[in-house]
Amino acid sequence: MRRISLLSILFLSLTPSLFAADTCEANFKTSGDPRNGAFYSTSVTIPGIDNRSAIGQLEKIALDQKFQVGSEDYSGTVGTLIIIQKETIRHEGFPITITADKATGVISISTRLNRGQTAKPENIRMGMCSMLNQVKAGSEGEAIAAEARAKSHTDEVVDIKATDLGDKLRKDLPVTRGGNSESVMNTVSAKYVGRTYRIDGQVRTNNDPDTLVYGGSPRENFDVFFITKLEASDLGKAIFGDPYKRQVTVVCEVPASQKDYYHQLRSGDFATMTGKVKTLTADGMEIRMTLTDCMPATPPAK
């Protein structure tokens, strides 16, 4: 089995800061068979911390340490940030998950190494705690968070043409012999899942009476498919794209509350929709991205 030492990478490039880390170190846990990629996690509690402030501060820490910043998402009192350990010639990249709960003040960080990667738990613990111990409550922390978002843009809606999105996904997930590895899929997914996109382009739909119900019950959402490759004006070619590249399917799940808008769409119409990326998969010659809660949007200014 190929084994890659992470002793000089990952969190080890971080300079430990305030090591009042008893709580963080005490909360550190590791589990799983290291041969399959061990799981590491820990947490700290900062009373009164705002989840958006905590997430923003950790974005800055990640950017300063040359991590790639992925998605930022909020649900209830919990904020979630995905950062990505970049791939190098020495190791494959992988995502790292950070959460901050405004209700409890708990900030946690976790990651699972790729199969074949190893690290000493004490080194991972030191790196994780050095990150968490830099988070500050109050106005100082909020200023740091605002500075980070000005660089990362994780809280912004991404404007993109459907065809450009298709090209980006083909570049990130090229056709490879044997398919894309789990580590590649995890890393690429972390770049997109949770982000909000405003997509503009031509669409196709299954807008007919048979699609209005599912299993005898009214549908909860309707699927709009963005055309991700345009060739001349031939709609068939536009849908199927370049046969020598992966077909990219971008599916926008439109909620039932927008059924009137959905029923007005015809295959080949232009549309602009805003939605959050729910899943990204690659299987054989197809890449499939699904966005949820897609709503009609104003086309971006030209």
Joined tokens for residue 182: 């789990």
Give per-residue pLDDT as tens, 67-118: 888 888 888 899 999 888 877 666 677 889 999 999 999 999 999 888 877 7
Tell me the pTM.
Answer: 0.66
Distances (CA, A) of 205 to 162, 198, 262, 282: 15, 18, 8, 22
Residue 16's pLDDT is 42
Joined tokens for residue 17: 């800061």
Domain boundary assignment for the chain: 4-152, 158-296
Q: What's the CA gap between 142 and 127, in Å, rounded?
A: 23
Q: What's the CA gap between 265 and 259, in Å, rounded?
A: 10
Residue 242's pLDDT is 54
Distances (CA, A) of 281 to 64, 189, 254, 269, 274: 30, 8, 20, 26, 20
Residue 57's pLDDT is 93
Give pLDDT < 70 ranges for the chain: 1-22, 88-91, 152, 155, 177-180, 207-218, 230-244, 301-302
Q: What's the CA gap between 69 and 80, in Å, rounded?
A: 12
Structural fold of domain 158-296 = OB fold (Dihydrolipoamide Acetyltransferase, E2P) (2.40.50)
Give 4-152's CATH code, choosing from 3.40.50.720, 3.30.160.690, 3.20.20.105, 3.90.1150.10.
3.30.160.690
Report percent pLDDT > 70 for the chain.
79
Residue 10's pLDDT is 52
